[in-house]
Amino acid sequence: MQRTVQLLLLALNLPIHIICVARIDYEDGTIEELQNRRITLSSEMQNMRKFMDQKGSHRFDFQYRDPEPQFNKNRVKGRLCNLFTVKDKRYCLALEICAGGSLYNVVTDTDVTSKLILQKGDLQQRTTMIPLNKISSRCISPNTVAVAKKVGGMNNVFHALSLISYEKELEPVMKYVFGNTFICTDINVAKNVTFHQSVMSRCVTLDGDVVDPSGSLSGGSRPKGGAVLLDVAEIKDLKQGYNAKKAELQNIESRMGQMQRIAGEYNQLKQQLELAQHELQVANGRLANSTFQVHQSEIETMKAKIEALEKELTEAREVCRKEKENIKMLESQLADSKGFRERQLKQAQADLADCKRKYTESSNKWKKKKEQYDVMNMEIEQLKTSVETGMGQMESREKEVREMETALEEFSGSAGELGERIAVLKEEVRVMKEHITSQNREIDNKKRAIDRHTKENQELQLQIKKQESELAKMKNEGKDAENQKTALEKKFSWILEDKEYFGTKNTKYDYSQEDPKTAEKKLSKMQEMKDKMSRTINEKAMMLLEREEEEFKEVVKRRDLVNHDKGKILQTMEQIEEEKKAEVKKACIEVGQNFSGIFTSILPGAAAKLVPVDGDYLKGLEVKVGFNGLWKEGLTELSGGQRSLVALSLILAMLKYNPAPIYILDEVDAALDLSHTQNIGGMLKQHFKKSQFIIVSLKDGMFSNANVLFRTKFEDGMSGVIRTAKK
């Protein structure tokens, strides 16, 4: 009995443990799955971050320090390139050219925010701000857009503003940047649209070429590094994916913290459940061998048999009920047999009416078919009539053929007379042919004579050309002989001297006593002797000697002149070198004095000087800076602002040595505080009394020392300048 009570207690406690375990929202392996997912997300985020760094995502981020406590970052919208999305990536290059440098401008809600960021945002680079409350834009009208599309084509011209999507609050700045430009598919369309009288607006092609209504045309090469907007779009997608994975990672880490606490409770309850199940199994094993369990099994078997018998009894009662209902229905039909017959009669009459209706419909259809049959019979009759008509026409044509054959026979009867006439005509034709043949023979003879004379003429022309060629050759030989004669006369002066004796008798030039062949042999022999001697003897030696002596004298004379000029040049160079050293020393001393005075004026209590390297000004100058009598070892010990002042002082000192009528300084005080700015203004007034400065500055310390102040303003969408003269 005690064992039975223990078993009942275990059986009651087991469902309680199961319910407690089931209530805990935890499954085995959940923490391990979360850990694996966290590792995967961390790896994917690291790869995405690395890829964004490779793409240069920092170029499009705007880094600044909060200018005031509890600053609302929503006041700064970010760089313009991140504030819109290009609907179709093929327009990215054109939109980039359209926006130009404005892509990197920073958009803010008001001009107050822009001033705060510029003054206290600790910006690391020069930045242009676009305040939404001050920006004024002009957008191309819808009528102009319609005209442009009509001129260039609906699919060739697009308003730049229609190619991007953005938030409604950013509409002013988007109109300011993209509102006055069209995007065209090619340069020809861009030219037609730009210079149309009703458009006259700037156009940019898909290749990046720009056509301006003023007449300028730019382009020809793509920007280096690829399209910026393509990189921006890709980085946006990466950032969205990165943020989604980051949110998932944070959710996983939060769940892991909760799961670790739940896992402890789950494991504890699971151990208790397993222990209770084990104890229950042990108790069941012990109970199975007891008499109570045997009796309990018999009771359960009897209960099952009772339930089966009760089920069979219920089914039998249901069958009995249905049979009783059938008996009642048959009895009612027998009692109402007359009414049943009337219902059957009505049903038959309804069926008969339906058959009549179907008969009527069939009769109507048969009548329609009968009408169609009659129509077709009429068409057949018409066709038969047409065939009979055709047969009649064919018979009439055969009759005409027979008549024509009869006429042909009649013509054959008169053919004899025509034959005689034809014979006469043939004879006349033969005579004419013979005459034509004789004429042709004469023509052929004439042609052969013409060909023969033409050939003779060509031969004569060839002989004439040969004679002309020989004549030209003889003329050339005569010219060559004349040239050779002239050359010989120049070469041998005795020819001109003895020319009058040539051919005179009883002289050495008496050619009548000479045999030309013997003279030719003698000439050949003498020529050979000359050739042999010319190998060892220079024929022109005497002539060359005299000429070389004259050239030598000329060279010696020129050498003496060069040496004299060289001495003068060296003397002048030494004099210039001395003057240079003196001038450099003077300039260094004066620049050093100016440098020291200017630096002291800018930075009171400090001193600066220029020291020559190794005492030689030509080797260079070292800048020495001291504070309160203590000189620094180098410029590296100075702060960035102090080095800026040193550089500015040195530049102004050199400008003072060689002054100009006007100087332009553009925000030289941008990196300096207000006190230094005030000192720079006073220094310029003190040291540059005879020079005129145009200074661009944003600080009041510089304004107070100006004689005339020009201020710029932006009002009603127009830039303006205000001039204020100091009294």
Q: Which helix (H) or strand (E) holds 612?
A: strand 606-613
User: Is 218 within 8 Å of 208 (Cβ atoms)?
Assistant: no
Residue found by looking up tokens 């020069």 in the block: 126
* pLDDT over 60 (residue 537): yes
512 and 432 within one domain:
no
CATH code of the domain containing 675? 3.40.50.300
Q: Residue 663 burial (CB < 10 Å; 0-12/13-18/19+)?
A: middle
CATH code of the domain containing 171? 3.30.70.1620
From 226, 252, 273, give the residue that closes a domain.
226
The pLDDT of residue 303: 66
Is 440 part of any domain? yes
* pLDDT over 60 (residue 544): yes
78 and 218 within one domain:
yes
504 and 466 within one domain:
no
Comparing 197-211, 367-381, 485-499, the range with the smallest average pLDDT is 367-381
529 and 426 within one domain:
no
Measured at the CA of 258, the angle between CA 254 and CA 264, to 5 degrees, comes to: 150
515 and 401 within one domain:
no
72 and 143 within one domain:
yes
Is 141 part of any domain? yes
In angstroms, the CA 260 to CA 349 distance is 86
- Give the domain extent around 368: 343-474
State how many domains the chain has.
Answer: 4
222 and 74 within one domain:
yes
The pLDDT of residue 159: 92
Comparing 286-295, 459-468, 572-581, the range with the smallest average pLDDT is 286-295
Is 683 part of any domain? yes
Is 329 part of any domain? no
Compare 49 and 154 and report the one with higher pLDDT: 154
The pLDDT of residue 358: 65
The pLDDT of residue 205: 93
Give one DSSP letter per residue of 469-535, joined into a string: HHHHHHHHHHHHHHHHHHHHHHH-HHHHHHGGGTT-TTSTT-GGGS-HHHHHHHHHHHHHHHHHHHT
The pLDDT of residue 8: 45
User: Is 697 within 8 Å of 669 (Cβ atoms)?
Assistant: yes
82 and 214 within one domain:
yes
452 and 520 within one domain:
no
530 and 445 within one domain:
no
DSSP 658: S
Is 145 part of any domain? yes
Per-residue HEC secondary structure of 108-155 comes to: ECCHHHHHHHHHHCCCCCCCCEEECCCCCCCCCCHHHHHHHHHHHCCC
504 and 469 within one domain:
no
- Residue closest to 643 by CA, chosen among 623, 629, 628: 623
Give the model's confidence band at 330: pLDDT under 50 very low, under 70 low, under 90 confident, else very high.
low
Is 394 part of any domain? yes
User: Is 77 within 8 Å of 83 (Cβ atoms)?
Assistant: yes
Which of 275-289, 423-437, 442-456, 635-649 has maximum average pLDDT? 635-649
From 191, 226, 261, give the residue that closes a domain.
226
pTM of the model: 0.35
In angstroms, the CA 718 to CA 669 distance is 28
504 and 470 within one domain:
no
Comparing 165-179, 211-225, 411-425, 523-537, the range with the smallest average pLDDT is 411-425
The pLDDT of residue 14: 47
From 209, 226, 243, give the residue that closes a domain.
226
Give the model's confidence band at 5: pLDDT under 50 very low, under 70 low, under 90 confident, else very high.
very low
Give the model's confidence band at 333: pLDDT under 50 very low, under 70 low, under 90 confident, else very high.
low
What does the pLDDT look like over 89-146, one tens digit per residue? 888 888 888 888 888 889 998 888 888 888 888 887 888 888 988 888 778 888 999 9
What does the pLDDT look like over 648-706, one tens digit per residue? 888 888 888 888 888 888 888 777 777 777 778 778 888 887 788 888 888 777 777 78
Is 253 part of any domain? no
Rounded mean pLDDT, 355-377: 66
